[in-house]
Amino acid sequence: MAELQYLQEQTFKNFSNWITHSEIANGELTLEVDRHYLRDICFMLRDKPKYAFQILVDVCGIDYLQYGRAEWQTESTTGTGFGRGVKADFSEVEVKWAKPRFAVVYHLLSLENNHRLRLRAFVDEEQPSIDSVVDIWPAANWFEREAFDLFGIIFKGHPDLRRLLTDYGFIGHPFRKDFPLIGNIEVRYDAKLKRVVYEPVNSIVPRILEPKVIRHDHRYEGEQKRD
């Protein structure tokens, strides 16, 4: 714990202008960094002996579009239940997320000092793009390709930013929250045409079996800073 606080102080000392927020929760240190200075921070984190983050464990995108929005309001007493098999309707729910929609999250690991660090950089919704860190940690190559594929975040300077997981010729970025879970296109073999055909999804309908609810559990109150 003391090590994490030391790490937090050190990072704050070194990059105070580039860090917008820093917190220790659940025994993990998270830094929210300004994406314009991401590469400067990453270089220092890798090369300075007191950090020595040699391993980039993971890079992933997050879409905060529906953050904090429930499918069924349970705060006040209502006369209605939740009808199963309906489409999600978020129209009446207020948004409490004030930060940009997309974020890229980096998990770092230092073998020498045996500590971990999480970096989060927010990117714009209009043109989600951020600098690539492939030349700092080659491991970022596929992680960034994956985040590009699934979220449509452009990694500037990436040598080979192709789709990775989705089908050839896939349209859209499937892990965005506004991309339907059932997808847009389905594939089947057409016996008449004697070939595989792509067509809009019509064999399944979207359903919500268990509504997403947010309950403010008093047991968790004041626990956010738990370490």
Partner 1 sequence: MTDKMPEIRNYVFNFGPQHPAAHGVLRLILEVDGETVVRADPHVGLLHRATEKLAESKPFNHTIGYMDRLDYVSMMCNEHSYVLAIEKLVGIKPPVRAQYIRVMFDEITRILNHLLWLGGHSLDIGAMGMFLYCFREREDLLDCYEAVSGSRMHATYYRPGGVYRDLPATMPKYKPSPWHNEKQVKRWNENREGSLLDFIEDFTQRFPKYVDEYETLLTDNRIWKQRTVGIGVLSPERALALGCTGPVLRGSGVAWDLRKKQPYEVYDQLSFDIPVGKTGDCYDRYLVRMEEFRQSNNIIRQCVDWLRKNPGPVMIDDNKIVPPKRTDMKVSMEALIHHFKLMTEGYCLPEGEAYAAIEHPKGEFGVYLVSDGANKPYRLKVRAAGFPHLAALDELVRGHMIADVVAVIGSMDYVFGEIDR
Given 111, 185, 197, 204, the residue binding partner 1 (CB under 8 A): 111
Query: How far is the C-alpha of 98 from the C-alpha of 173, rounded, in Å?
Result: 23
Please choose, out of 2-10, 25-33, 122-130, 192-200, the segment that lies near partner 1 by the rule CB under 8 A.
25-33
Tokens encoding 95: 């948004």
Q: Which residue has the tokens 């690991």?
A: 109
6, 25, 36, 187: residue in contact with partner 1 (rule CB under 8 A)? 25
* Least distance CB 192 / partner 1 (angstroms): 26
Residue 12 to residue 9: CA distance in whole angstroms:
5
**What is each CA distance from 1 to 59, 78, 90, 167, in whole angstroms?**
24, 44, 40, 44
Q: How far is CA 41 from the centre of its chain?
A: 20
Under the criterion CB under 8 A, does residue 62 sit at the interface with partner 1?
yes
Q: Where are the alpha helices (DSSP H) in 71-201?
A: 140-151
Q: Which two tokens stand for residue 103?
A: 């974020």
Q: How far apart are CA 53 and CA 115, in angstroms?
A: 8
Residue whose C-alpha is closest to residue 66's, from 35, 89, 84 = 89
For residue 58, state whether it binds partner 1 (rule: CB under 8 A): yes
> Per the structure block, which two tokens stand in for 184?
């847009």
Q: Is 172 in the site for partner 1 (CB under 8 A)?
A: no
Q: Which stretch binds partner 1 (CB under 8 A): 7-15, 35-43, 161-169, 195-203?
A: 161-169
Contacting residue, 118, 129, 154, 186, with partner 1 by CB under 8 A = 118
* Contact window for partner 1 (CB under 8 A) among 33-41, 123-131, 132-140, 184-192: 132-140
Interface residues with partner 1 (CB under 8 A) are: 25-28, 30, 54-58, 60, 62-63, 66-68, 70, 105, 107, 109, 111, 114, 116, 118, 137-139, 141-143, 164-167, 174-175, 181, 208, 210-217, 219-220, 223-224, 226
